[in-house]
Homo-oligomer: A and B are copies of this chain.
Amino acid sequence: MTAERSTRDRLLDSFETLLVSDGSRAATLEAVAAHAGASKGGLLYHFHTKDELIGAMLDRLRDHAAADVERMRVAPEGPAAYYLNTSVDSGSDFDRALIATARIAQENVDAASETLDAVRADWLAVLFEHLNDRPLAQAIQLMGDGLYFNDTTGNQDPQALTSAHEILKRLGL
């Protein structure tokens, strides 16, 4: 009857947090365990290797993504606006998982790149399905990616999101 997060989940949370806020270099097994208030032995009980920890992170992203695509499909403001809005909400669990995975992908981890590609393809499919206009769908995805990019490099201009919406309006959305 408790909503407490399991140690396993907390370890994944910590891995995510360290990746997002300090980069892959800081996300060592010891640092992850310490951040989660667990021992290194405890971490290795749940994840036998670092690859297994990464794999669990990718599973988590896929779960979030499947749910997000559903929300996007039925969003009252439409998929395009929903997509842009959530692209800048880097506080959400989903976004954290996404950014964390992007950082892993940078170290030439194929599984991470592939997961990322799959998620992006799903998004684009929903945008295209709704708009029936490929250039527009891709441009929206590009702007969403841009909002991410800014967010993840510490550059946060609150006007950027407003500008993206304004452009959508001019394009007849």
Using a CB–CB distance below 8 Å, which chain A residues touch chain B? 21-26, 102-103, 105-108, 113, 116-117, 120, 134-139, 141-150, 152-155, 157, 159-160, 162-164, 166-167, 170-171
Contact = CB atoms under 8 A, between A and B. Distances in A.
A149 B136 CA distance: 18
Copies of this chain, tallied across the complex = 2
Contact of A107 (B26, B117, B120, B159): B26
A23 B167 contact: no
A139 B167 contact: yes
Contact of A108 (B23, B147, B157, B170): B23
Given A23-B108, A108-B21, A108-B23, A117 B149 contact: no
A163 B138 CA distance: 6
Contacts of A25: 24-25, 107
A53 B150 CA distance: 25
Contacts of A154: 105, 113, 116-117
Contacts of A108: 21-23, 26
Q: Which 9 A-B pairs have the closest CB atoms?
A: A142-B146, A145-B146, A138-B163, A135-B163, A135-B166, A23-B107, A23-B106, A139-B167, A146-B146
A54 B121 CA distance: 35
Contacts of A144: 146
A108 to B, nearest CB: 5
B171 A142 contact: no
17 contacts: A25-B25, A25-B107, A106-B152, A113-B153, A135-B162, A135-B166, A135-B167, A136-B167, A137-B163, A139-B143, A142-B147, A142-B164, A143-B146, A145-B149, A148-B149, A167-B171, A171-B171
